[in-house]
Amino acid sequence: MRRTIYIFLLCITVLLFAACRGPEDRSASLSTENMIVIGAAQMPKSLNFFVDYNTFSIEVGQLLYENLCERNAETWELEGRLAKSWTISPDKLTYTFKLNPDAKWEDGTPVTSDDVIFTYNTVMNPQNLTSLFRLDYEASFVKVYAPDKETVVFKAKNRRWSNFNTAYSFTVLPKHEFEHGDFNKDFNIALPPGSGPYIIEDVQPERFIVLKRRDDYWCKDLPQKKGMYNFARIKYKFILDDEIRLEALKKGDIDLAFPPSAKKWVEWTQENPPYQVKQHWILAKKVYNERPMGYSGFHMNMRRDKFKDVRVRKALAYLLNVKLINEKLMYNQYLPLYSYFPDFFNNDPDLPHFAYNPEKARALLAQAGWDRVDSDGVLINGRGERFEIEFPYSSASLEKHLTIYKEDCAKVGIRINLDLLSAAAYTKKVFEDHDFDMVWLAWGRGGRFPSVEDGWRSDRADAVNTNNIVGYKNPELDKLLDLYLKEYTVEKRIQILKKIDLILTNDVPTVLLWYAPYVRFFYWNKFTMPDKVLKKYADTYSEDSYLTNWSINREKLQALMQAVNGNKALPAEDVDIYYDEALKERYAALSD
């Protein structure tokens, strides 16, 4: 929807904020443009999420390019995007999509089945760094073909509910923009325009990215798009240092930032809020909804000999002191993670709990052959190999957590060598080269039911750019994955997923960490948004989120500027937002 760019008496605006300067740095340089400016930590190696699959690239990519269909973030109903209709054959093996004849690329040319086939062939080209997607498509489809310009057919290999999900969520790239370049190298920063609501207007690597709204966006008037895409521009400012990023928020240089740590969240909301937060010029929100949840953990590279013994992996799990880290560094803002699918099973009594226990860790290590130490106090085995762990990481904010783990491991003779890398170097080392011992990764989840196989199937263990980052292989789990993906009955599928979870948690391919059952952020009090801030199933990086459902509120912005000018507080608002009372009761019980 088009929105007028709000401009309020520029000269008066300058005077308003000039008058607010004071010893507590109450000044602000808030923009009156119809733009949201977001503080981001670091620019990824590539904005092409087919090549560099990360949260930021996904967020940008889904504003530029579109899927055949999408899920409604409020109802989870399937809705058409590039496809206006679809059919599933009675045997559930053939999915036919009719493209919307109104769908247009940014230059006005129609989106056709040629674009779909081109994208599919590009992903399936083994010379491209797209194995994460290629393996998924190989497992799902016999072929993808186009009977005519407006029809695309996906022929599935077998009867699995996940195949249709993979088909309808297929992202389509413009053939005429991508066919003449090197897909691995030429589309990392300068992404061509697509069919989506925004285009990239400006990129200054490591400084900022500006997306500009297309006022000629082809589906802006569809019923499901009403009230969306309100910002004329979306600007990401890259500020690597957490403190500097929050200072930029206080000054009004950015409109929204995610707290880099639980410590900073508690400081800003409870212990010592900045003046702008005390006055409710900047609002803090902790939003609980039904978004699908992923997991985080210290992933062990099971391609390496020292991690092939489950006793070693369990020992490393027993050396993680979640309680201490939560109290000391995270102000008890998190819950221990026991499941790979916490929104389903985290409180399941059948799951193993590896509470901190260095004595159990020592015993397991000794059983596995790590039963002596060298002159440096480092564990060695019968071959004289030292138990050292190379642990790359890409954010300095993780160092305090990793240091506690490093120190606890050192107490039993395990030496961890921490290695801080740039985002690009980290991606290459971990995802492309698999050149690590242990790495901290968090995985999100886009659907109500995870596909699971992309992270754990045996045939993905040795692929480049795979989500099976640990190189996990387990024929028993592969069989359960097949059953899970073939099961159309939801309750039965959940039971199979529980068995998968039990195998993974007992095999310990990762040391599970902790999780937050909410999304939290700080923003200047000038936006209109849904009643519950985010929709029922929306996450902050999903396409249907604050970027697409919020807007600049003229009255709020004017009230904010008057409050800053007069050094007056705005009305307080609730910090904790629950989608419904049932959700509030659920998490109250978990916290107890």
* Per-residue model confidence as pLDDT tens digits over 236-272: 999 988 999 999 999 999 999 999 888 899 999 999 9
Which of 583, 572, 578 has its CA nearest to residue 282?
Answer: 572
Structure tokens at 540: 């902050």
pLDDT score for 20? 38
pLDDT confidence tier of residue 18, bands split at 50, 70 and 90:
very low
CA distance 258 to 249: 10
Q: In this structure, is residue 401 part of a structural domain?
A: yes
Whether the pLDDT of residue 25 is over 80: the answer is no
Same domain, 511 and 460: yes
Which of 231, 236, 249 has its CA nearest to residue 551?
Answer: 231
Q: Domain boundary residue among 515, 546, 566?
A: 515
pLDDT confidence tier of residue 30, bands split at 50, 70 and 90:
confident
Per residue in 454-489, pLDDT tens? 889 998 898 777 789 999 999 999 999 999 998 989
Give the Cα-Cα-Cα angle 395, 396, 399 (nearest 5 degrees).
Answer: 110
Same domain, 490 and 528: no
Whether the pLDDT of residue 207 is over 70: the answer is yes
Q: By three-state DSSP, how is residue 424 classified?
A: helix
> What mean pLDDT comes out for the span 275-282?
97
pLDDT confidence tier of residue 591, bands split at 50, 70 and 90:
low
Q: At what angle do helices 475-486 and 161-168 cross, to 10 degrees?
A: 70
> What mean pLDDT comes out for the span 561-578?
95
pLDDT score for 269? 95
pLDDT score for 45? 86
Per residue in 65-83, pLDDT tens? 999 999 998 988 999 999 9
Whether the pLDDT of residue 9 is over 80: the answer is no
Same domain, 587 and 539: yes
CA distance 581 to 562: 36
Whether the pLDDT of residue 55 is over 50: the answer is yes
What's the gap between Cα 261 and its chain centre? 16
Residue 54, classified by CB atoms within 10 Å of its CB into exposed (0-12), middle (13-18) or buried (19+), is middle
Q: What CATH number has the domain bearing residue 396?
A: 3.10.105.10
Same domain, 324 and 358: yes
On whether the CB atoms of residues 115 and 172 are closer than 8 A, the answer is yes
Same domain, 285 and 303: no
Q: What CATH number has the domain bearing residue 130?
A: 3.90.76.10
Percent of the chain with pLDDT over 90: 74
Q: By three-state DSSP, how is residue 505 classified?
A: helix
pLDDT confidence tier of residue 24, bands split at 50, 70 and 90:
very low
Per residue in 94-132, pLDDT tens? 999 999 999 999 999 999 999 999 999 999 999 999 988
Which of 101, 97, 112 has its CA nearest to residue 154?
Answer: 97
pLDDT score for 353? 95
pLDDT confidence tier of residue 29, bands split at 50, 70 and 90:
low
pLDDT score for 32? 77
Same domain, 319 and 398: yes
Q: Which residues, including other chains, have CB under 8 Å from residue 186's CB and lie 6 or more apart? A: none
Whether the pLDDT of residue 567 is over 90: the answer is yes
Q: In this structure, is residue 203 part of a structural domain?
A: no
Q: In this structure, is residue 474 part of a structural domain?
A: yes
Q: In this structure, is residue 219 part of a structural domain?
A: no
pLDDT score for 27? 44
Q: In this structure, is residue 197 part of a structural domain?
A: no
CA distance 237 to 42: 9
Per residue in 358-406, pLDDT tens? 999 999 999 999 999 999 999 999 999 999 999 999 988 899 999 999 9
Same domain, 418 and 334: yes
Q: What is the mean pLDDT of the chain?
A: 90
Same domain, 307 and 427: yes
CA distance 152 to 161: 19
Same domain, 316 and 168: no
pLDDT score for 1? 33
CA distance 24 to 554: 27
Q: In this structure, is residue 190 part of a structural domain?
A: no
Q: In this structure, is residue 231 part of a structural domain?
A: no
Give kind and range of the element (H or E) at residue 152: strand 151-156
CA distance 206 to 524: 24
Residue 25, classified by CB atoms within 10 Å of its CB into exposed (0-12), middle (13-18) or buried (19+), is middle
pLDDT score for 11? 33
CA distance 326 to 354: 15
Q: Domain boundary residue among 178, 212, 230?
A: 178
State how many domains the chain has.
3
Select the more confidently predicted residue: 354 or 25.
Answer: 354
pLDDT score for 578? 94
Same domain, 542 and 530: yes
> What mean pLDDT comes out for the span 564-575?
96
Select the more confidently predicted residue: 587 or 167.
Answer: 167
3-state secondary structure 13-75: HHHHHHCCCCCCCCCCCCCCCCEEEEEECCCCCCCCCCCCCCHHHHHHHHHHCEECEEECCCC
pLDDT score for 260? 86
Same domain, 74 and 126: yes
Structure tokens at 33: 């443009």
Q: Rg of the chain over CA atoms, in angstroms?
A: 25
CA distance 458 to 474: 6
Per residue in 517-528, pLDDT tens? 899 999 999 999
Give kind and range of the element (H or E) at residue 520: strand 519-524
Whether the pLDDT of residue 2 is over 50: the answer is no
Q: In this structure, is residue 546 part of a structural domain?
A: yes
pLDDT score for 592? 52
CA distance 74 to 171: 21
pLDDT score for 579? 92
Whether the pLDDT of residue 214 is over 90: the answer is yes
Which of 259, 220, 214 has its CA nearest to residue 234?
Answer: 214
> What mean pLDDT comes out for the span 431-453?
88
pLDDT score for 446? 66
Q: Which domain holds residue 67?
A: 55-178
Q: Domain boundary residue among 491, 515, 539?
A: 515
pLDDT confidence tier of residue 10, bands split at 50, 70 and 90:
very low
Same domain, 413 and 506: yes
